[in-house]
Structure 1
């Protein structure tokens, strides 16, 4: 007996029709879409039914619903890889696997960035580290954001959009844990210095050094987490 085929729901169909509307209308991220009332009339559905489809699209970043302003095409509409919007606190094994994935993916991307980064790209990395330096004695949130953006931009400068999205998704998935790492690592200067060494290798156009330094940096992070596994809250 063949397995039962799940029938698409009205919300499924609406989601697809909304995506078709965005694509066929040549809408770009940031473009405003018709109001919920207009969309309800266009698709001949009730507002609650439409809103369910809109919430699905918003969860993946395909659209952005701005209170009091309207519905806009989201920045993630053209992404190939998306972070899981429903991800809860990760188990220890998942966290280590994610860090292991970063160790495999990010060092080669640092090497590619050293080969391909433009002067503007290198200047962007330098600005990020200058910003991080200003927060070494400040709030964790600002320093965390500068550090994560450094990794994201390094991946972007490698020139492979899909791999950049993979790195961005991995960083998004365990953003909370990464903030905890910053506190556990408890050596902001060492973290900053390791980022600076990676930047200098990229600026020098030295792919071997950039790859080696990025790997050493991420292995340090993973070692810290493995140590942290023996303490709350990861027990």
Structure 2
């Protein structure tokens, strides 16, 4: 016989789960409005606080949309919105758990190597032209740090876009955005722009030749060098921080 205690659930959690069951059953479809708070209170025999807390939880999860003065509406599924919602959580995790940054870098390598192999296998003439245009824009932005980084991210996302997989494209944008927002100063090392452009040119050429293994090697080399630049700058920032602390003493 189990001796585990019975956990008493909050009413709001029960209301949230029942609403999720209703939504998943198809009784309510994306764009439909939920019943009023009063109707939900009567339906589930709970008070207004439990209903409101349940609705706020679903709103935070992106399942419903709440606008002031209107009944809540079932949200239309949106992959980009989903990653946007977890963005702040990811940044908090990166700030409080340094090991997570290393995990994110490793995840990016695994992801982008897979994407560049797929691009080299299946890129059409139109895809290659889009990549070339993205690289031209990055070259034109070489004297503008912020624009150069944005174009760098856009080039990598363009490689992912060759897959035609919208989830992969949004995931690529999200990972790059998390890195950019967490360490803006680490994403651009002065003097490294020409190296980055040369590496991107090599990626473009291997994709255009449909050289799958060559594209993988080029991406591995590119990201390995990028991570080494991360390490150099992180070490420099740590030394400055320690020296500053000693000066204050």
With the length of structure 2 as denominator, give the TM-score of the two structures.
0.68
| Superposed CA RMSD | 3.9
Residue 109 of structure 1 is aligned with which of 106, 110, 115?
Answer: 115
Check conservation: 2:186, 2:230, Cα contact below 8 A: yes
Which of 82, 89, 93 aligns to 2:99? It is: 93
Higher RCO structure (Cα 8 Å, ≥6 apart): 1
Alignment match of 1:198 (pick from 200, 203, 212): 203
Partners of 1:113 and 1:23 in 2: how far apart?
Answer: 41
2:17 to 10, 13, 16: 13
Give unmatched runs, 5+ long, in structure 2: 42-47, 242-249
CA contact (8 A) 2:187 2:230 kept: no
TM-score using structure 1 length: 0.71
Cα deviation digits, residues 177-216 of structure 1 (max 9, x gap): 4532233354222212211210121112111211111111
Contact 1:63 1:77 in 2 (8 A): no
Count of paired positions:
222
Q: How does 1:87-166 map to 2 (within 5 A)?
A: 87=90, 88=92, 89-90=94-95, 91-140=97-146, 142-158=147-163
How far apart, in 1, do the equivalents of 2:211 and 2:22 lie? Answer: 46
1:30 corresponds in structure 2 to: none
Instruction: Point out the structure with max Rg over C-alpha.
Output: 2
The answer to whether the 8 Å contact 2:149/2:188 transfers is no
Distance 2:38 2:125 in 1: 48
| Alpha-carbon contact 2:119-2:159 (below 8 Å) kept | yes
After superposition, what is the alpha-carbon deviation per residue over 1:20-50, rounded to whole angstroms, capped at 9, x for unaligned? 388963x4xxxxx246xx5435962558446
Distance 1:55 1:73, change over 3 A: same
